[in-house]
Structure 1
Amino acid sequence: MIPSVQQSNISHFQVTEFILLGFPGIHSWQHWLSLPLAFLYLLALGANLLILMTIWRETSLHQPMYEFLGILSIVDMGLASTIMPKILSIFWFDAKAISLSECFVQIFAIHCFLGMESGIFLCMAIDRYIAICYPLRYPSIVTATFVLKASGVMVLRNVILVVPVPVLAAQRDYCFKNEIEHCLCSNLGVTSLACDDRRLNSIYQLVLAWMIMGTDLIIIILSYIQILRSVLRLNSAEAASKALSTCSSHLILILFFYTVIVVLSVTHLAEKKFPLIPVLLNVLHNVIPPALNPMVYALRTHDLRVGFYRVLGLDC
Structure 2
Amino acid sequence: MATSNWTTHHPSTFILLGIPGLEEAHVWISIPFCSVYILSVMGNCLLLAVIKTEPSLHEPMYLFLAMLAFADLVICTTTVPKTLCIFWFRDQAIHIDACLTQVFLIHSLTTMESGFMLAMAFDRYVAICNPLRHSDILTHHAIAKIGLAIVARGAVLLGPHPFLLKQLPYCTTNIVSHTYCEFMALVKLACADTVAMSAYSLAIAFFAGGVDFLLIVLSYILILRAIFSLPSKEARSKSLSTCTSHICVMFLFYFPAIFSYLSHRFGHMAPHVHILIANFYLLFPPMMNPIIYGVRTPGIRQRALHILGFKPA
TM-score bracket for the superposition, by shorter chain length: over 0.9
Q: In structure 2, give the amino acid aligned to 1:64.
A: P
Q: Does 1:41 align with 2:41?
A: no
Count of paired positions: 312
Partner of 1:96: 92
Deviates more, 1:236-245 or 1:273-282: 273-282
**Runs of 5+ unmatched residues, structure 2:** none
Could you report, residue by residue, the CA deviation over 1:41-89 in whole angstroms, capped at 9, with x for unpaired residues?
0100000111111111111112111111111110110111110111011
**Runs of 5+ unmatched residues, structure 1:** none
Q: Do 2:50 and 2:303's aligned partners in 1 also have CA atoms closer than 8 Å?
A: yes
Q: In structure 1, give the amino acid aligned to 2:270.
A: F
Of 302, 307, 311, which aligns to 1:306? 302
Could you report, residue by residue, the CA deviation over 1:64-123 in whole angstroms, capped at 9, with x for unpaired residues?
111111111101101111101110111122110011111111100000110011010000
Q: SS at 2:69's partner residue?
A: helix
The 1:112–1:273 alpha-carbon spacing in structure 2 relative to 1, beyond 3 Å, is closer
| Structure 1 runs of 4+ with >4 Å offset | 3-7, 269-273
Separation of aligned partners in 1, 2:229 and 2:128: 11
Separation of aligned partners in 2, 1:249 and 1:29: 35
Of 149, 152, 156, which aligns to 1:153? 149
Q: Does 1:204 align with 2:215?
A: no
Separation of aligned partners in 1, 2:51 and 2:35: 24
Q: Does 1:129 align with 2:125?
A: yes
Partner of 2:224: 228
Q: How far apart are 1:176 and its partner, in Å?
A: 3.1
Q: Do 1:6 and 1:16's aligned partners in 2 also have CA atoms closer than 8 Å?
A: no
The 1:171–1:261 alpha-carbon spacing in structure 2 relative to 1, beyond 3 Å, is same
Q: How far apart are 1:265 and its partner, in Å?
A: 3.3
Separation of aligned partners in 2, 1:35 and 1:144: 41
Q: SS at 1:22's partner residue?
A: coil
Separation of aligned partners in 2, 1:14 and 1:3: 15
- 1:113-262 equivalences under 5 Å are 113-262=109-258
TM-score (norm 2): 0.95
Q: In structure 1, give the amino acid aligned to 2:23.
A: H
The 1:13–1:146 alpha-carbon spacing in structure 2 relative to 1, beyond 3 Å, is closer
Separation of aligned partners in 1, 2:25 and 2:301: 39
Q: How far apart are 1:4 and its partner, in Å?
A: 11
Q: How far apart are 1:278 and its partner, in Å?
A: 1.1
Q: SS at 1:98's partner residue?
A: strand
Q: SS at 2:34's partner residue?
A: helix
Q: Does 1:22 align with 2:18?
A: yes
Identity, % of aligned pairs?
38
Q: Compute the RMSD of aligned alpha carbons.
A: 1.8
Partner of 1:285: 281
